[in-house]
């Protein structure tokens, strides 16, 4: 192993000091080491591992018969057509995770005609060429778990999935990418069987997602789904072969979820149906969704809650006004008493005035006078 790790230069340097036998032996070693294993890599059988070596590029002179290549945990910001300068016909599995990779340029995989599984997880990709893969690629599994720099780049980055070159792709891992809304990328992935969108902040399943014909496994665990709309349930029911995982979402157990609950109780499509729990309302928090009865699904949470609080508020305001009114009355009790006496006196004067006038009017002596005066 030590010999294999020694660089070609060092071995060539030692050649001068050796005898003929040694020359032969070392010649063999040069052939082995230079065609055997790149610097800072470990090779065994058809596997080459160059892990956590702070490499800034894919090592060149990878043995031509390599099947499994691991270049992980290094510092490779850019892969391009120069990354694989020689053809590696037997390479099927390529692991490039944890490299802080930002750019995947065009034609980078052109020299890997039999690549089946590619792992680009745990990178910071912000640009992915639509022409990264050759048209006749055979890629079956693509791992893009936690691959993207951030939310802003997702639309741009996922464009290469729409390009229509990944016709053999059966498994796609897009987990832990903070997608929120999934761009419609599945139209051209015509062989996709398994899709992971776990832990991606997804808030709704968009219409197109379920249209991929062969899709059989959909992982939506640990997202931000609150319920599944009726249209989605209908789409799911049309694909009885599709199995879906939904645990770890904050289901809202109110009257809007009743369609979904009925569907869940009757469907075999949700693999982890036992693990679905309510996130709210408070009364049903952490309850297993399957154990919730339809009669427990109330819509008091928002509308009625708002109404209730506004009624309480109105009542309080009215009571306050009443109290203030009484208080004003109480404080002014003397003034009010005086005012009432005044009114009473005024009334009495008035009444007396009437009384007087009535008496005058009814006096027969004065009646003549008034008739005469009119003339």
Ligand X SMILES: *[C@@H]1O[C@H](CO)[C@@H](O)[C@H](O)[C@H]1NC(C)=O
Q: 3 φ, ψ to 5°? A: -60, -45
Q: Would you call 49 helix, strand, or coil by DSSP? A: strand
Footprint on this chain of ligand X (rule: CB under 6 A) = 54, 56, 75, 77-78, 80, 82, 97, 103, 105, 119, 121-122, 143, 145-146, 149-152, 171, 173, 176, 178, 199, 207, 231, 262, 266, 271-272, 275
Q: How far is the CB of 251 from ligand X (least distance, A)?
A: 15
Q: 293 φ, ψ to 5°? A: -85, 150
Q: How far is the CB of 142 from ligand X (least distance, A)?
A: 9
Select 34 or 180, whichever has its Cβ closest to ligand X. 180
CB 103 within 8 A of CB 130: no
Q: Would you call 94 helix, strand, or coil by DSSP? A: strand
Write the DSSP string, 139-177. --EEE-TT-BS-GGGHHHHHHHHHTS--TT--EEE--SS
Contacts of residue 298, Cβ cutoff 8 Å, sequence gap at least 6? 254, 255, 281
Select 29 or 276, whichever has its Cβ closest to ligand X. 276
Select 75 or 370, whichever has its Cβ closest to ligand X. 75
CA distances from 247 to 8, 69, 173, 221 (A): 54, 35, 17, 5
Measured from the Cβ of residue 97, the count of other Cβ atoms closer than 10 Å reads 20
Q: How far is the CB of 325 from ligand X (least distance, A)?
A: 55
Select 103 or 256, whichever has its Cβ closest to ligand X. 103
Using CA of residue 340, residue 343, residue 345, residue 351, what is the dihedral sign?
Answer: negative
CB 214 within 8 A of CB 193: yes
279: which 2 tokens?
A: 């996130």
Select 33 or 143, whichever has its Cβ closest to ligand X. 143
Select 33 or 227, whichever has its Cβ closest to ligand X. 227
Using CA of residue 91, residue 92, residue 98, residue 99, what is the dihedral sign?
Answer: positive
Q: How far is the CB of 134 from ligand X (least distance, A)?
A: 18
Select 178 or 352, whichever has its Cβ closest to ligand X. 178
Contacts of residue 373, Cβ cutoff 8 Å, sequence gap at least 6? none
Residue (of 175, 183, 174, 123) closest to 148 by Cα position: 123
Select 33 or 209, whichever has its Cβ closest to ligand X. 209
């Amino acid at each position: 192993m030590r010999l294999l790790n020694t660089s070609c230069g060092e071995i060539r340097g030692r050649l001068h000091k050796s005898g003929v036998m040694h020359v032969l032996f070392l010649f063999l070693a040069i052939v082995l080491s230079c065609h055997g294993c790149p610097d800072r890599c470990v090779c065994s059988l058809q596997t080459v591992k160059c892990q956590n070596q702070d490499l800034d590029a894919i090592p060149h002179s990878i043995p031509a018969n390599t099947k499994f290549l691991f270049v992980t945990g290094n510092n490779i910001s850019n892969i391009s057509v120069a990354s694989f300068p020689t053809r590696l016909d037997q390479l099927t599995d390529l692991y490039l995770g944890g490299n802080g990779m930002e750019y995947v340029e065009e034609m980078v995989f052109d020299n890997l005609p039999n690549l089946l599984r590619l792992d680009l997880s745990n990178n910071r990709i912000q640009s992915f060429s639509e022409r990264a893969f050759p048209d006749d690629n055979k890629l079956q599994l693509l791992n893009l778990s936690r691959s993207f720099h951030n939310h802003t780049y997702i639309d741009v980055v996922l464009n290469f999935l729409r390009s229509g070159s990944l016709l053999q792709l059966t498994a796609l891992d897009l987990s832990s990418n903070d997608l929120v809304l999934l761009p419609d990328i599945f139209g051209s992935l015509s062989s996709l069987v398994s899709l992971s969108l776990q832990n991606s902040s997804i808030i709704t399943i968009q219409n197109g997602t379920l249209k991929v014909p062969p899709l059989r496994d959909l992982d939506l665990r640990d997202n931000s789904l609150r319920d599944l709309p009726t249209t989605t349930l209908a789409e799911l029911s049309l694909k009885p072969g599709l199995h879906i995982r939904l645990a770890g979402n904050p289901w809202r157990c109110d009257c809007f979820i009743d369609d979904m609950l009925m569907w869940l109780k009757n469907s075999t499509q949700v693999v982890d149906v036992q693990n679905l729990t309510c996130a709210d309302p408070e009364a049903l928090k952490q309850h297993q969704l399957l154990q919730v009865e339809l009669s427990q699904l109330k819509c008091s949470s928002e509308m009625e809650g708002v109404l209730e609080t506004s009624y309480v508020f109105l009542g309080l305001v009215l009571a306050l006004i009443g109290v203030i009114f009484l208080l004003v009355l109480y404080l002014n009790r003397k003034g009010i008493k005086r005012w009432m006496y005044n009114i009473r006196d005024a009334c009495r004067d008035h009444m007396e005035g009437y009384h007087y006038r009535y008496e005058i009017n009814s006096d027969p002596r004065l009646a003549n006078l008034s008739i005469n005066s009119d003339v």
